[in-house]
Amino acid sequence: MKSVLKNTGKLTLFILLFGFRHLHAQDVDDLLGELDEISPDQAQNITATFKSTRIINGHSIETVAKNHLDFRISHRFGTLNSGYNNLFGLDESRIRIGLEYGITDDLMIGAGRSSYLKEYDYFLKYRFLHQKTKGLLNPVTVTLLVSVSTNTMDTSPTMQFFNNLERQSYVGQLMIARKFGERLSLEVNPTVVHRNKTETPIDANTLYAMGVGGRLKLSKRTTFNAEYFYVANNLIGNGFERDPAFRNNLSLGFDIETGGHVFQLHISNSRGMIEKQFIGDTQDEWLKGGLYYGFNISRIFSFDKKEKH
């Protein structure tokens, strides 16, 4: 009945506008088809822009579905240039364990703990704009990320903490992505990182960065991923000279999807697994072998009582 009323309304509108007195049945069908094509409410949301909520280190525009829990394990070994005695980095490891839950299909929360710098992180992620299947109504998907991290390392001569507030860092990030057909997806991530405490007085407390990333679908279950984060003001004394101690983060990897799991295998010049660690705090270079092999494992659990198992 609802469909009949909808089509009747469209037909009536057309007749009033153009003053047709006689319409054949075939003409009516063609007309309704054309009106459906230009109707905004017929456009559907684009899905599966990325396979996971992460591209590699950084977040993607994807969120965990409502009433679903994502249990994530991220692992980073040592650098390849650490030599044979260290089995080219495989003797060392750092790990992050995280839990991420979908409150709605577009709103999720998460928390994790990294052995690297012994940091806890908490975040909220909200996707407020969806790319549509046709037309220029919404050409991109946009997601907002807000996160807080806490450094729990013991105070030291190089990093002295006098109160808990100095241990906090904050991140605000917009993720803007577009899916170009079935094979290619691209994303840009304007980002602000604020650190209440830095290692030296000349380091900027607030960093401004731009991330770019994407994925290329290789097969039904495999994609090639890449991401790069450029820090605009990692400068000596906030001047014009780049601080030689820090590098921009570049990561390459593959996603492999197997049922409810997503395996992400990659190499990166950063050991960090949260934004505060790999944006503005990366110190290794690709050309000098300062590369960390790592992987992420994502396992989704459903708590949706309506979902069939």
CA dihedral 267, 271, 277, 283 (to 10 degrees): -90
Mean pLDDT of the chain: 84
Regarding whether 261 and 137 lie in a shared domain, the answer is yes
Whether the per-residue pLDDT at 291 is higher than 90: the answer is yes
182-230 pLDDT per residue, tens? 999 999 999 999 999 887 777 788 999 999 999 999 998 999 999 999 9
Domain membership flag for residue 62 = no
Regarding whether 101 and 29 lie in a shared domain, the answer is no
3-state secondary structure of 35: helix
- CA 224/CA 221 separation, integer angstroms: 11
Read off the pTM.
0.81
Instruction: Work out the average pLDDT over 117-137.
Output: 90
Whether the per-residue pLDDT at 234 is higher than 80: the answer is no
Regarding whether 122 and 16 lie in a shared domain, the answer is no
Domain membership flag for residue 51 = no
63-122 pLDDT per residue, tens? 999 999 999 999 999 888 888 888 888 888 899 999 999 999 999 999 999 998 899 999
Regarding whether 38 and 72 lie in a shared domain, the answer is no
Whether the per-residue pLDDT at 34 is higher than 90: the answer is no
The residue with greater pLDDT, 235 or 211, is 211
Regarding whether 17 and 150 lie in a shared domain, the answer is no
Regarding whether 213 and 73 lie in a shared domain, the answer is yes
Regarding whether 28 and 168 lie in a shared domain, the answer is no
Task: Please report the pLDDT score of residue 41 as a whole number.
Answer: 56
Residue 13 structural domain: 2-42
Domain membership flag for residue 59 = no
Characterise 71 by phi-psi region: left (phi > 0), alpha (psi -120 to 50), beta (else). Answer: beta
3-state secondary structure of 211: strand
Task: Please report the pLDDT score of residue 2 as a whole number.
Answer: 42
Range in 55-64, 259-268, 294-303 with the lowest mean pLDDT = 259-268
Task: Please report the pLDDT score of residue 81 as a whole number.
Answer: 86
Whether the per-residue pLDDT at 16 is higher than 60: the answer is no
Domain membership flag for residue 131 = yes
Domain membership flag for residue 47 = no
Domain membership flag for residue 284 = yes
Q: Which residue has the tokens 């450029």?
A: 230
Q: How does residue 235 score in pLDDT terms, banded at 50, 70 and 90? A: low
Task: Please report the pLDDT score of residue 75 as a whole number.
Answer: 93
Task: Please report the pLDDT score of residue 3 as a whole number.
Answer: 44
Nearest to 200 by CA among 149, 165, 234, 250: 234
Regarding whether 156 and 262 lie in a shared domain, the answer is yes
- CA 214/CA 236 separation, integer angstroms: 31
- CA 54/CA 61 separation, integer angstroms: 8
Q: How does residue 171 score in pLDDT terms, banded at 50, 70 and 90? A: very high
Whether the per-residue pLDDT at 15 is higher than 90: the answer is no
CATH label of the domain that carries residue 196? 2.40.160.40
Task: Please report the pLDDT score of residue 231 as a whole number.
Answer: 92
Regarding whether 25 and 84 lie in a shared domain, the answer is no
Could you give the number of structural domains in the chain? 2
- For residue 18, give both structure tokens: 């153009």
